[in-house]
């Protein structure tokens, strides 16, 4: 069962109306996109971008022959190239842009690419299998200092030095279990009994590094602002403090210039019912703003 995160809040902020066009920069399994299409018919469209061709194939199969297929344009691409993608496909009068950052449930449960610390899989962690470096390459070939840096900066991991040392000493690492065990050896016993699994921050750091996640977001937000029509809404769901900081700083700076109006004073969080139904939503934060007429 696929539960799009904070769906009601996304719809409330995007406020889709018949005939309006939207860009879903992280279309994934299409949960949010479908809900938008349920409201902007009969002729409003959604441009759905995703970096992962496999997930795009999955959604395109699932909407085949439905009204969704007529109004959802699926594009394989990186949202860091948002403006070029929008221009290439001649998509205009954009009333809202949505980002639901990170990986999807499908990545964790079915992709077999090592996103989950609970499954023994190859250490890949790429969204786009044509792209960039794998987690395995980082772990086995990067210098001790570079591994320390990503654990400290992207993982905000307090034991970054000890974990990086253990990774380098345990080479070659091939699977997620090799990595979980290295983190376990490097960290004290009490750390293994915390609410958050002791390898969570290490996995987060690698995923961010492999997919250039923070740089992509930094590049995409100004483009999202640019492609929006006046009054258009920008909605971003983030899942950790590094992403949220980028979103907050961007929106606040634009609001200060009088170019955006904040629709959320503080970030919205999922309801208790949602967290119960979908524990993965627990760290979500949603920020929304509207482009001001100039
Ligand atoms: C949390 S999921 C989105 C789920 C979607 N909102 C839904 O309801 O099914 C995030 C998606 O963003 C994609 N993604 C991550 N980084 C991306 C990027 N830089 N450009 C485009 N897509 C990206 C991932 O492949 C993943 O499918």
**pLDDT (mean) for 91-108:** 95
> Are 29 and 175 members of one domain?
no
Question: What does the chain come to in residues?
Answer: 294
Regarding the beta carbon of 96 and ligand 1, being less than 6 Å apart is answered: no
Residue 276 domain-assigned (yes or no): yes
Regarding the beta carbon of 78 and ligand 1, being less than 6 Å apart is answered: yes
> Are 187 and 239 members of one domain?
no
pLDDT at 1 over 90: no
Contact 124, 133 (CB under 8 A): no
Residue 1 domain-assigned (yes or no): no
**Distance from the alpha carbon of residue 133 to the mean position of ligand 1, in angstroms:** 18
Sort residue 157 into left (φ over 0), alpha (ψ -120 to 50) or beta.
beta
- Among the candidates 177, 211, 245, a domain finishes at 211
Report the nearest atom of ligand 1 relative to the CA of 31. 8
> What pLDDT band is residue 294 in, cutting at 50, 70 and 90?
low
Q: What is the mean pLDDT of the chain?
A: 96
- pTM score of the predicted model: 0.97
Residue 165 domain-assigned (yes or no): yes
> Are 190 and 217 members of one domain?
no
- Torsion from C-alpha of 50, 54, 57, 59, nearest 10 degrees: -60
- Torsion from C-alpha of 2, 109, 201, 186, nearest 10 degrees: 160
What confidence tens digit (pLDDT) does each residue in 253-287 have?
A: 999 999 999 999 999 999 999 999 999 899 999 99
What confidence tens digit (pLDDT) does each residue in 159-185 have?
A: 999 999 999 999 999 999 999 999 999
Residue 87, both tokens: 């221009």
Return the bridge partners of 74, or none: 48
Residue-wise DSSP of 226-291: HHEEEEEEEEEEESSHHHHHHHHHHHHHHHHTTSEEES-SS-B---HHHHHH-GGGGG-EEEEEEE
Question: What CATH number is given to the structural domain containing 89?
Answer: 3.40.50.150
Q: Which domain holds residue 55?
A: 7-106+213-291
Residue nearest to atom 24 of ligand 1 (CA): 103
What confidence tens digit (pLDDT) does each residue in 192-250 have?
A: 999 999 999 999 999 999 999 999 999 999 999 999 999 999 999 999 999 999 999 99
Q: Residue 134 CA to chain centroid, in angstroms?
A: 18
């Amino acid at each position: 069962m696929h539960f799009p995160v904070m769906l009601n809040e996304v719809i409330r902020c995007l406020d889709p109306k018949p005939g309006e066009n939207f860009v879903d920069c992280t279309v994934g399994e299409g949960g949010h996109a479908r809900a938008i299409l349920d409201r902007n018919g009969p002729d409003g469209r959604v441009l759905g971008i995703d970096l992962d061709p496999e997930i795009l194939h999955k959604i395109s199969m699932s909407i085949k022959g439905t009204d969704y297929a007529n109004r959802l344009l699926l594009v394989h691409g990186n949202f860091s190239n948002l403006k070029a993608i929008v221009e290439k496909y001649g998509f205009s009068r954009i009333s809202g842009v949505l980002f639901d950052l990170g990986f999807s449930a499908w990545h964790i449960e079915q992709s077999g690419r090592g996103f989950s610390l609970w499954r023994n899989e190859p250490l890949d962690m790429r969204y786009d299998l044509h792209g960039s470096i794998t987690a395995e390459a980082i772990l086995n070939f990067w210098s001790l200092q570079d591994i320390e840096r990503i654990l400290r900066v992207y993982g905000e991991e307090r034991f970054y030095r000890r974990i990086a040392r253990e990774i380098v000493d345990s080479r070659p690492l091939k699977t997620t279990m090799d990595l979980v065990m290295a983190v376990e050896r490097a960290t004290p016993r009490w750390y293994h009994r915390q609410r958050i699994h002791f390898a969570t921050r290490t996995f987060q750091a690698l995923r961010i590094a492999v997919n250039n996640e923070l740089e992509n977001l930094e590049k995409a937000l100004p483009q999202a602002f640019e492609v929006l029509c006046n009054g258009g809404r920008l909605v971003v769901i983030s899942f950790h403090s590094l992403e949220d900081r980028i979103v907050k700083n961007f929106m606040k700076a634009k609001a200060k210039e009088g170019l955006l109006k904040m629709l959320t004073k503080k970030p919205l969080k999922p309801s208790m019912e949602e967290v119960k139904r979908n524990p993965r939503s627990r760290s979500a934060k949603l920020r929304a703003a509207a482009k001001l007429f100039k």
